[in-house]
Structure 1
């Protein structure tokens, strides 16, 4: 039996909202997201584990939970979905922007009606980052704005090894400009 990824993501979001307070109070740990052949879908993409998919293991447990909370709150209050994905490899892709765009389409980020999703993909070993937007999002957050956020907000922090700080500042700047 194959589960529709959009349905899975919806159920996951609802589950996380209903458990949000308990997970933080009980000290629930960040899920281990090492992926091998069993976690990679037939299409070659990793399975989505939520709104933050830290396959590259660049965030601590606390950072993961804080970033997840910010992104879920933004999605809940605006119906705009922003997803952060860290990976160790984008093979067989050579272009991380195309990878991010295809991944966002495959996972169904954003609503189908509004096409209002945004995906940030970081490949630390590749030393690359991309922001891909749905067509509805691109009307506000143009490629120029996304590239500016990467170069002026995110990359300066990455150069200091501060991946969480860079992503957090980038997310906040994207939210500011998207509102």
Structure 2
């Protein structure tokens, strides 16, 4: 009886370990390399067969239309590995995407980490930037994935990705607003930055001594030349604190005491 209990305990432990198998880039099945019409790697059966078939059909149509190659991997665990690094190595290991275009995409679901990760090749970053990936995850996938509805979440995400990449997605008002706000911010930031840079250059040029090259010129005196129509003209003397060289510059400024006439 004790032997039977020991055997049953061992079998339960074995089943538990199998259920929590940790997948690596080396042991995960390379389904797309074995069958070019299959894009979903689902070794632990997290996704249903109908969901995998639907995603395979969408991704096959996407590749036929655009040449973009996508691989989806859904696994229960990758141990302590980082999802981003795993997806990056998966793209390289499987050679996802056309080599000359580097237009591959890996979408990774790891259920024990509650992680959904997009990783794009360099050639796809313009069509599917990080902001769009994040929006697809947040808007189309996470509402289902947080409830454990893997089929609905992954299918909705793949559908949104395909619509984005094949051009069938309608204009995204939220995206346009974000881009407009970002553009305005960058424009204002650029104008302010250029203005500050110009002022700094002018200040440095004004303090540079033509004799010794040091930025040591300091105003030491001035002589009024004229005062006309509210404009004050002066010859301002600057003396270098390093070599004593003097520079006279004619400058004009607004006369605060001018009242017209």
* TM surpasses 0.5: yes
What CA RMSD, in Å, does the superposition of the two structures yield over aligned residues?
2.3
What's the TM-score once normalised by structure 1's chain length?
Answer: 0.71
1:35 & 1:118 partners in 2: Cα distance? 26
Match of 2:101 in 1: 114
- Aligned runs of 1:22-171 on 2, under 5 Å? 44-50=26-32, 51-93=39-81, 95-171=82-158
Measured after TM superposition, the shift of residue 35 of structure 1 is 11
1:45 & 1:91 partners in 2: Cα distance? 13
Match of 1:28 in 2: none
Instruction: Give the structure with the larger strand fraction.
Output: 2
Secondary structure of the structure 1 residue equivalent to 2:51: helix
Contact 1:59 1:164 in 2 (8 A): yes
Structure 1 residue runs of 5 or longer lacking an equivalent are: 1-33
Secondary structure of the structure 2 residue equivalent to 1:85: strand
1:88 & 1:165 partners in 2: Cα distance? 17
1:129 & 1:113 partners in 2: Cα distance? 27
Q: Which moved more, 1:71-80 or 1:130-139?
A: 71-80
1:69 & 1:176 partners in 2: Cα distance? 13
Structure 2 residue runs of 5 or longer lacking an equivalent are: 1-18, 33-38, 168-261
- Count residues with an aligned counterpart: 142
Measured after TM superposition, the shift of residue 106 of structure 1 is 1.0
Contact 2:84 2:119 in 1 (8 A): yes
Contact 1:52 1:68 in 2 (8 A): yes
Distance 1:47 1:35, change over 3 A: farther
Distance 1:77 1:47, change over 3 A: same
Contact 1:121 1:130 in 2 (8 A): yes
Cα deviations across residues 98-124 of structure 1 (Å, max 9, x unaligned)? 211111111111101111111100011
Match of 1:11 in 2: none
Please say which structure displays the higher CA radius of gyration: 2
Distance 1:126 1:36, change over 3 A: closer
